[in-house]
Structure 1
């Protein structure tokens, strides 16, 4: 069988993620205490959100450690590569749940606005902005090419925006006594939280369900393969992602002639190079056939 490995992104150590976890634990404790003292639902909401982030960041950190384990065994032939995708799915799901909860609490608060100690809200919001902003900077580079890190980055980025909103609300309450702004900000935070998480949730589901990557059209891949010399037919095609570092392809190739194994290897190398350059498919597994009596469906339905 033809196969190809390689073209991976740099290993992510998780050190920056660990720093972010420590910062978020500190923020969560401070905002939760401050929220109860001040009576601010927005501050308590931010604390609850930060607490969910602590759990999510820990999940991401553990997943990152597992994913970086290079050793594969006879039982775990793929290693722990999919751990990060599972973490991204869990993180996105928890964010959406938290968003729905915060939205519900905000609607209730609209009917019963209460006076809030705005000075405490302002100072704790500033703390959240500084700590989360620093964490966002730490994770930005890794988030560009890793779905797990992107989910963690999204958590922290939304936290920073949340703290900015809470700061604005604190200033409005302090100088204009507009206490219903606390509930409005909470509702806006909730909606934005769900919006930011939805894309990560869908992407992680697509990978876990072994769907064809969005940037790849199977017909285009088939057309490229059929350009190779001596190939009569390609069938039983599967294209999927193990994680977010490239795509895998397996297929049966029917040849017009009974070629040698060495010729098959040469053809495979050319196909693999083309598929990587055009579709970022970095692992190919081909089964050669010649006058074999089986179904030639492009997608096997059995």
Structure 2
């Protein structure tokens, strides 16, 4: 059985870890301030933002631990190492976004039924502080979020919380100058809906990776047809393609050959296949089982 792989890395793990740590401490400070301020002012929006910030702290800690685990080497008991750690972290963080959103919306409905007077000055100042701190954290994580699902989950938590703080600020101003206290609950509902919207997509993408689904950019039929153009390949079947993490896409397949080739010939053909699927389809880990005149179904491309 032939087995080849390409590795390419754009790892800035030390920088990512430092940025995550800074964001963790910033969000701990925001959470404590907002809990105290929310209790003193009576603002549900501020308390809901504090709850979201607390979920941010947990999500950032999960992301940080996962990022550190992802650097650990493989061993005999863990042949893939901890390469899935960041995907798992993304899944957990996306799920918490949705759960937090549901809790916020439930509280908002109760507050709409029983509106309360709120100390708006405290709400305004704490919202401004949260916007500044979260805005800085968002800038720290923005670059790495473009190509890493774990960092994207942390970034989304911070981005949505910054936007939630903006909503809280607007609400505080409306309550201060117009005494529209029900806006506190309405803004909480809007925050909750937005959290579900942002969390769902990431939850779906991380679930696909954990379930070993074929990446959406890969078309198996195209790969099979292109490999069959390489002589002396006769047939490609029993194909599995999955994404291990952000950087690795794996493929395994059975290849039926037109003639009984030597092992040295197979190595040359395998090299061609590996280069072909890497450059054309982004697959960087190939595992091929060669066959000649074997009695099994050659027509089923995908099978268990």
TM-score range normalised by the length of the shorter chain? over 0.9
For residues 184-216 of structure 1, what are the alpha-carbon distances to aligned partners after superposition, in whole Å with 9 as ceiling and x for unaligned?
A: 100000000010000110011101110001111
State the distance in 2 between where 1:125 and 1:65 align.
32
Give 1:108 shift: 1.2
State the distance in 1 between where 2:132 and 2:85 align.
30
- Could you say which residue in structure 2 is the equivalent of 1:133? 135
State the distance in 2 between where 1:289 and 1:193 align.
51
Q: What is the SS of the residue equivalent to 1:266? A: helix
- Could you say which residue in structure 2 is the equivalent of 1:235? 237
Give 1:262 shift: 2.0
Give 1:98 shift: 0.5
- Could you say which residue in structure 2 is the equivalent of 1:64? 67
Give 1:261 shift: 1.8
Q: What is the SS of the residue equivalent to 2:286? A: strand
- Matched residue pairs, number? 300
Structure 1 length as normaliser, TM-score? 0.97
1:41 paired to 2:49: no
Give 1:11 shift: 4.0
The equivalences for 1:135-214 within 5 A come to: 135-214=137-216
Structure 2 length as normaliser, TM-score? 0.96
Q: In the alignment, is the contact (CA less than 8 A) between 1:230 and 1:255 conserved in 2?
A: yes
Give 1:280 shift: 1.1
1:9 paired to 2:13: no
For residues 67-107 of structure 1, what are the alpha-carbon distances to aligned partners after superposition, in whole Å with 9 as ceiling and x for unaligned?
A: 011x2111100000001111111111111000001011111
- Could you say which residue in structure 2 is the equivalent of 1:273? 275
Q: Give the superposed CA RMSD.
A: 1.0
Q: In the alignment, is the contact (CA less than 8 A) between 1:256 and 1:290 conserved in 2?
A: yes
**Any gaps of 5 or more consecutive residues in structure 2?**
none
Give 1:295 shift: 2.9
Question: Which residue, out of 27, 33, 36, partners 2:30?
Answer: 27
**Any gaps of 5 or more consecutive residues in structure 1?**
none
For residues 200-248 of structure 1, what are the alpha-carbon distances to aligned partners after superposition, in whole Å with 9 as ceiling and x for unaligned?
A: 1001110111000111111111111111111001111000011121311
Q: What is the SS of the residue equivalent to 2:284? A: strand
Give 1:8 shift: 2.6
Q: What is the SS of the residue equivalent to 2:5? A: coil
Q: What is the SS of the residue equivalent to 1:2? A: strand
1:52 paired to 2:55: yes
Q: What is the SS of the residue equivalent to 2:235? A: strand
